[in-house]
Structures are given as structure tokens and as C-alpha cells.
Chains A and B, each alone.
Chain A
Amino acid sequence: MTELALDNRTLPDRSTVVGWLQNYGVYLGLAVLLLFNVFFTDHFVSGENFRTQAVQVSPVLIVALGMALAIGTEGIDLSVGAVMALATSVTSLYLGYGPWLALVAALIGGAVIGLAGGSLIAFVGVQPIVATLALMVGGRGIALVLLPQLKDVRDPAMATLGSGSVAGIPYLALIAAALALIVGFVVRRTTFGRRLLAIGDSRPAAQLAGLPVHRVLITVYVCSGVLAAVAGFLATARLQASDPSSLGNLMELSAITAVVVGGTPLTGGRVRIGGTVAGAVLIQLLTATLIKHDLPSSWTQIAQAVVIVLAVYAARERGKR
């Protein structure tokens, strides 16, 4: 029966179409949504609107990059929202020593949470969903201990970072784009990226091939933690305030949505960074479109659900093969 598998290229049209949709469906959806807005939404095609959308999507996008890595190893990282909260607390505590030091402190915080999660998963063998759930609850707790209530952030450098732009492109969007390129490069071109995919696809085989499974898993969750901390730092700059009780709430779910809609299967072994970016933008644009057309926010949620189900359905069809 394995001999037959060679003839995959000549399989019926249906599965070819579904396979194509799984690979490129997110871009198609994005294109359709863009066209709809161009024709039916007032003031859609304006620099101001694009800038707003880009700034809003940046934190989700950055978090989703780390999430894509975790999902690529057949894991998940629920602690990302809490890491954002921790990052905002740390940022406002250390801002007195300058924004750079505050950034470094926030990144260290994210790395520590990632290290804790990764170690639990790799060495103790705790399931990723449980390990990072514990950190999601505990991490926000720590954030609130460090900074019990909302605090304004008054720092000119932070203000520039949050709302400034270069050549009409917001800093936030530039940073998000740069990070997406870096993560995409890491996945494609480094030993770490290759190993990550092998571990996600077949952990026993990866282990027997002598791959450093523990080290790779821990690195993945540290990366996810650091990326979430970056997102928390940037969100703090944009909002000009630190609010550890609300920043990053439900961010883990938005990030998972972006990754799944982007065509990265939850079963691991595959990471699609381009798709993840498109997925994040698609969800952002969908929300914006419905709001612009004066539909209540409940409609947004329903629409998101439909998109997720469609994405998962396409992925499932692929998996059945």
C-alpha cells in the first residue's frame, strides 16, 4: 500500500483543492476581505486607517510568532498573555533607569517564564497545556504583585516608540515585521528550526536520531516568552500606561487563532510564519470591517468563530489523507 502513495499527485481534484486551500486559503481570505473593504467601506483606503490597523495588530502578531513555534513542536503556550502583563509591570518599575534597561528587564522576565514552562515540559514531562496554564495563572499573579494597579507611563522615548513612525510606517509595525522575518528565517534556515519541526512531527524518531530534544523544547518556550515580553513592552509604549490586570487578557487565544487560521496544524511538524502573519491580519481586518459597518461586537466574535472552524476544517481534511 505504500507503493500506491507515490501517486499522490494524481489524486482526485477535491483533495487537491482542499490541500491548496489549507496552504493558501488564508491569503485568499485576506484578499477577499481587502477587496470588500476597498469597495464597500468608506475611508478604508487611507494611510491613517492602514497605520491604525497595523499598530493594533502588531502585539498579537508578535505573540503569535512564538505561539507558532510552540505549536510546531506539538505544544502550546498559554502563558503569553500573563507574560505581557509581567512585561508591562517590569517595564514601569524599571523605566526610571531608562527605557533600554526596562526593555532588558522585561525580556528577562519573559525568558524566565519561558524557561520555567520549557523545563516543566522537557524534563518533568508535564503536558504543555498544563504547564503553561499554571504559568498563565501564576505569571499574572506575579505581575500584579509587582504593580498592584494601573500606572501611567510618562517617558518621551516610550511615547515615540508607541505612536511614532518612519516613512509613514509605525515603529510597532516595523518591529513586528522584522521579528516575523527573523522567526521565519530561524525556522527555515537554522538547525534549531529543522530540529523543532522534526520533534513536532515524530518525537520518538527525533529522539532516536540523537536530536537534543530537551534543549530544543526549552528554547522554543524561551523564545515564545521573550516574544510575548516584546509585545507587552510595545503595548505599554502604545497605551502610555501599565495595567497588569488587563493587558494581554485572552491574548493566548487570539494568538492561537492567528496561528491556526494561518494553516499551522496543531499536530506539530509544520510552522507557517507567512500564514501566521496573514492570519493575524485577517482576524484584525475582520474585526475592523464589522465595526466599521456598525455591527455589534458580538458579531465579530461569531465571525471569528466561523473563520476558525473553516481553518480547522481545511486542516482536518488534510490530516485524513
Chain B
Amino acid sequence: MTPWRAAVTAPPDEVLAVTGLTKRFPGVLALDDVTFTLRAGQTHALVGENGAGKSTLIKVLTGVYRPDEGELRHLGEAVTFPTPLAAQHAGISTIYQEVNLIPLMSVARNLFLGREPRTRLGLIDFARMHREAKETMAEYGVHIDVRRPLRELGVGAQQMVALARAVSVDARVVVMDEPTSSLEPREVETLFGVIRRLREQGIAVLYVSHRMDELYAICDTVTVLRDGRLVHTGPLAETGRLQLVSLMLGRETSEVRAEGVTKFSGSHDAGSRPVLSARNLDRRHQLHDVSLDIRPGEVVGLGGLLGSGRTETAKAIAGALPLGGGEVTVDGRPVRTGSAAAAIRAGISLLPEDRKSEGIVPGLSVRENIALAALPRMSRFGLVSEARVDAVVDTFMKRLRIKAASPHQKVGELSGGNQQKVLLARWLAMHPKVLLLDEPTRGIDVGAKAEVQKLIDELAGNGLGVLLISSDVEELIEGSDRVVVLRDGSVVGELTGDEVGADQLLRAIAEAAEEETPRHD
């Protein structure tokens, strides 16, 4: 397509657009034929669950990745951004979740990095730089000594510096990837003020967030991605919250699928007294007053959108996250929070979401990985009894049907499903009372998925208390006896008995969002 023709076909206010975008990674189709348009003065929400392709789309738009297929248009002309720098020169600024500034340099230098005001001798004009930096930061509600190193600022203030820098480089498009995840409510207000000002100046904002209230407070358009495909795009005001949630999770509210999609049997006979009680868990920006109980033999589902605090809740209970407040008891006895070792001793086991970096020890064998946590049980005076390890490893490899060339094969070489089974074996060897499963079947093949689901069912049947986190609605509904719904780090509802159904879950997630008046408007 020649540039002049593109200019004719493109709408006048289109700033950045892709058509038919496809991006593949080895073994994964990250984006599949996605078409997306960003217009001047638009505040465009980009939403989707994990693996939906949001990050990949952002990275294509900002020159980090190049599309395999499809066309990228900038101001109506077909372009390719060979590097992120080229995209920046074209007026596309990105603010990443993790602040991309230089912590040891002063605020002013960070703000003016690479375009410092010069004196006539070509030296940096510090006086002018500091004065202008101070004025700029004041506009963003940050009143600080701009000569101080950036790292002395709070995360929120650092985010503001990143934003100020992004906007001040003549941006036409500003991409914000979860900009409020570490901001205080007051700072969010300031951020929204800045976004409104950008809108008046005709700057397009691509806003990625999981917080419904924020989307409805500040965005005018929404695009929903799911599994790498575009499922919806249009004015946000015409898209209800319930509809948005169903689009993201891939369930139509009217659609009732056949039961038995998963290998879960459904209900279990739960004991009466909770084996685990978590009370008032609190962590800055992540958890607010979260309480839940798990009874023996019960599978408690933890529902909510990405970023609602599901993983944080599980990690907090397992002692893997330091807490601001709250307590965890097992069989009525308090467990020291913030210590994984203490939680494990009390009988709490966590299968982490990030299996590869937090779960398996890739360089060690299947055998060593299974034995890792339970080593003291299989040793005397610090000497490992190989016979006892062999016995345990053999038992679990058979029971969980772990497929490996031998117990001595490295875990890193196994398939995802088998890695997950190795982790399950590691914990089952500890005879836990409570099993926290964070996305236990994500990224594993269908067969292994069914096996893992069946196994969870069996374990609960044997009297284990299970907490199940899953973005797969079917899995959550059919696997859980009860579902606790989280939003923005707070418990907003609970489904019990007959209420445990897909429609009810979606409604709980969406309605919970609707009940309160939006915080920031």
C-alpha cells in the first residue's frame, strides 16, 4: 500500500493503528489477526486476562516487537518501528509497570535525560533544568527537591516523574501499562487530571488496567482481547460491566454450557470446623481486610479478575508475602505470617502461579525436586536416606503418573503438566493440611489438565482443604464447593451451594464492581 493511498483511507483523527496483526512466538500464537485503532484525544482502555495478548500488542505498537503479519499505520502512513527508539521519535511514549528511570540520578536529570538544556558553552544548564523540572513536577502534584535522587521518592511519585517525562517528549500517544497499581487514591486523582489534560491537547492515551472503576471513570473507548484475538471494541459507555467481564473471561451470560467439561465431581463433604482461617489480611496496594475459611475436604474457589488480589491472598497465607496486618490460623493455632517455612510447618502448601521461576528447581532431577521440601523427614542427623527418598519418589511418580525418562531426569526438561505433578508430589510428601493451588492447570495440555483436576478432587475427598485459583471459569465453578470473589484486593462476595455457577460468578464479579460508586470521579 502506497503512503498516499493509506492517507486517503485512514480517518483523519487516526494516530496509530494496526490491521490484521499477527504475532507468533515459538509454540504460541500471541496475537491472531488483531485490528486496532487509536484516535487523537481518545482514552482507550485495553483489557483482557492473562495471556490475552495485551503486552504483545503494546510491544508491537511501541517498536519492541515487529509484527509477523499485518500493517502498522502511524498518522495514516504505513510504518515499521525497527527499535523502541524509532517509536519514541514518532511520538509514542510508554510508561511501564516497573518504572523505567535511573534511580541514582536526580529527579531533574531523569526528567531531562538526553535533552538537557545547555549553556552557551555546551554544558548542562543546571539552574534552568532544576527550575523547569520543579515547575513541571508541581503540575503533577509532586512538590519535591528535584535535585534529590529519584530513588528517594515514593513509588507513586516516581510514576509521576515517568509520566511527566513521557508526556514532555512531544508525545502524540501515551501508553500506560497499569499506571495505578502502586498509586495512592490521591495520586490516582492527579493522574486522572493529567490524562484529562492530555485528552484536551488531542493526545491519545492507551490505558491498560484491571480496575473496572478506573476504566469507567477515565476511558471513553474499550478494546477487549482474549487468547490473542480481538473480541470487542467500541465506546465504553455502551458496554456494561457485566458484558465486559463476560467478554474478558470468555463466557456469554446467557450461554449455559453442558456440565462435566472438567474432571471435577462437584461437591465434597466438608468438615464443620475450618482447618485454615485467614483474618483481615492487609497489604499496601494489594490486599484490604481479606478474610476466608477453608474446611477440611472442601475446595474453596477464589474468583476475580486478574489483579484482584487472588495470587496475593494465596501467597500471603503461605507466608510468601510480608503482610501489613492480619492473621492466619491452622486448626486454631496461629501461624507466623511472612515466613514460608513457618507456614509449611503448620501444614500449608502453595503451588505457585509462576511454576517455572518459583516452583520447580529446573537444574535438579525429578527425584531431588520431589524430595526437596520433605528432606528432613527422610534424613537422620542431616544425612539423607536414599532408600527413603526412593520409596517416596517411587510412590508419587506412580500415584500422580509423572512421565519422565527416569527419576534422574532434570525437571526443566519435562512438560508443563509433569512439572506441575512434580510440584504436587513435593507438597503431598509433606502431608499438608491445606493446599493452595494458584492456576494449577494453566499452560498444561488437555490430558494432563484433566488428570490434575481429578487429583485435586481426590485430595479434597481425602480430607485436604483446598484453595483453588483459576481464570478458567469452568474449572473454578465445577471444582469449587464455594467461591469467594475478590475485587481490588477486597472480598466482595461469596457463592455457596446452588449459587456456584458461571452466571452467578460473572454477575458477582461485575455487580460487585457496580455496587459502589466509582472511587475516582
A: which residues have CB within 8 A of B?
Answer: 1-3, 5-6, 8-9, 189-192, 194-195, 197-198, 201-202, 204-212, 269-270
Contacts and interface: CB of A to CB of B under 8 A. Distances in A.
Given A6-B405, A204-B358, A209 B363 contact: no
Taking chain A's interface residues, is the majority helix, strand, or loop, or is none over half, making it mixed? helix
Contacts of B376: 191
B357 A209 contact: no
A320 to B, nearest CB: 14
Interface string B1-45: 000000000000000000000000011000000000000000000
Contacts of B397: none
A253 B340 CA distance: 37
A212 B413 contact: no
B53 interface: no
Nearest to B419: A2
A8 B359 contact: no
A201 B358 contact: no
B358 A191 contact: no
Contacts of A202: 357-358, 360-363
Interface string B318-350: 101000000000000000000011011100001
Nearest to A1: B27
Contacts of A198: 361, 364, 368, 372
Contacts of B358: 202, 204-205, 208
A210 B373 contact: yes
A192 B382 CA distance: 7
Nearest to A210: B344
Given A2-B416, A202-B362, A211-B341, 19 more contacts: A5-B414, A6-B413, A189-B383, A189-B386, A192-B382, A195-B375, A197-B361, A197-B363, A198-B361, A198-B372, A201-B364, A202-B360, A205-B359, A205-B361, A208-B318, A209-B340, A209-B372, A211-B372, A270-B363
A5 B352 CA distance: 22
B445 interface: yes
B414 A2 contact: yes
B412 interface: yes
A222 to B, nearest CB: 15
28 contacts: A3-B445, A5-B412, A5-B415, A6-B415, A189-B386, A190-B379, A190-B382, A191-B375, A191-B376, A191-B382, A194-B375, A197-B361, A198-B368, A202-B357, A204-B357, A205-B360, A207-B320, A207-B340, A208-B318, A208-B340, A209-B340, A210-B343, A210-B344, A211-B341, A211-B372, A269-B363, A269-B364, A270-B363
A201 B360 CA distance: 10
B241 interface: no
A11 to B, nearest CB: 11
Contacts of A270: 363
Contacts of A205: 357-361
B231 interface: no
Nearest to B375: A191
Among the interface residues B344, B372, B379, which one has the most CB atoms of the partner chain A within 10 A? B372
A210 B386 CA distance: 21
A6 B375 CA distance: 27
A198 B341 CA distance: 15
B383 A190 contact: yes
